[in-house]
């Protein structure tokens, strides 16, 4: 049984109505059975693709204050030192996860703790793997401070296809590692920004599994 994320229920309902209306109209306007069959098959394929995009599989998170887990499914496309100027204003290590439209798009908290910072930034829609997408694209920035007082930042970044970021984080609330932190609709990227002395446990090209895979250990 496929679990559907709440962010997709309304979209799936309206899509079902639209596809049903299109098929009904074609049935009335055309007598050719091939037209009916092709329309029906195409509608089923479209609905299944959108349905799988909003799937919300159960993940088993091993809670650990010293570990940072992947906030999203996808491919590790960058591990690099950056000059982070929005919040920390110093050098940090950034791990970037690219999500294709076929990945699970639920976002999860990478660590447990208190949210110290949460902000939405309007912006452009460069392709998600563009080097400047994390600075210029529509995005959200969240900083969670764990129980040891170590802050971890993660960013939701919209891409050329993704035009809707959903962020649940609010400053001051306590969150649990692995729980839903938001959703990005139709493909994009998530960046995780860590202290320079973090022990990175992944490499470029690895496939991340949100809520379960350890990205790094904090010191």
**Strand 67-69 and strand 74-84: pairing?**
unpaired
* Distance between CA atoms of residues 70 and 191, nearest Å: 10
What dihedral angle (degrees, nearest 10) is formed by the CA atoms of 140, 146, 150, 156? -20
Q: Within a 10 A sphere around the Cβ of 204, how many other Cβ atoms?
A: 12
* Distance between CA atoms of residues 169 and 139, nearest Å: 13
Residue tagged active-site, from 43, 96, 112, 188: 188
C-alpha to C-alpha distances, 104 to 3, 64, 84, 217, nearest whole angstrom: 11, 23, 28, 24
Residue 165 is given by DSSP the state E
Sheet bearing 67-69, strands edge to edge: 67-69, 214-217, 199-200
Would you call 133 a catalytic residue per the annotation? no
Host H or E run for residue 38: helix 33-53
**What angle separates helix 6-29 from helix 33-53, to the nearest 10 degrees?**
180
Which pair of structure tokens corresponds to residue 185? Answer: 């609709």
Active-site residue numbers?
Answer: 188
């Amino acid at each position: 049984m496929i679990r559907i994320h709440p962010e997709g229920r309304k979209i799936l309902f309206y899509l079902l109505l639209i596809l049903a209306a299109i098929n009904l109209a074609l049935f009335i306007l055309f007598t050719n059975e091939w037209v009916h069959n092709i329309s029906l098959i195409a509608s089923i394929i479209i609905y299944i693709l959108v349905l799988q995009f909003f799937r919300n599989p159960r993940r088993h998170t091993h809670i650990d204050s010293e570990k940072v887990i992947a906030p999203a499914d996808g491919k590790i496309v960058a591990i690099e030192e950056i000059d982070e100027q929005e919040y920390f204003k110093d050098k940090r290590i950034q791990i970037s996860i690219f999500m294709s439209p076929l990945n699970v798009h639920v976002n999860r908290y990478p660590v447990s703790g208190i949210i110290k910072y949460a902000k939405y930034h309007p912006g452009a829609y460069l392709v998600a793997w563009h080097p400047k997408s994390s600075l210029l694209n529509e995005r959200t920035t969240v900083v969670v401070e764990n129980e040891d007082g170590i802050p971890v930042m993660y960013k939701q970044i919209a891409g050329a296809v993704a035009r809707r970021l959903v962020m649940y984080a609010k400053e001051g609330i306590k969150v649990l590692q692995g729980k839903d932190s938001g959703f990005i609709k139709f493909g994009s990227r998530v960046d995780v920004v860590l202290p320079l002395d973090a022990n990175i446990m992944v490499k470029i090209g690895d496939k991340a599994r949100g809520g379960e895979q350890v990205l790094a250990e904090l010191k």
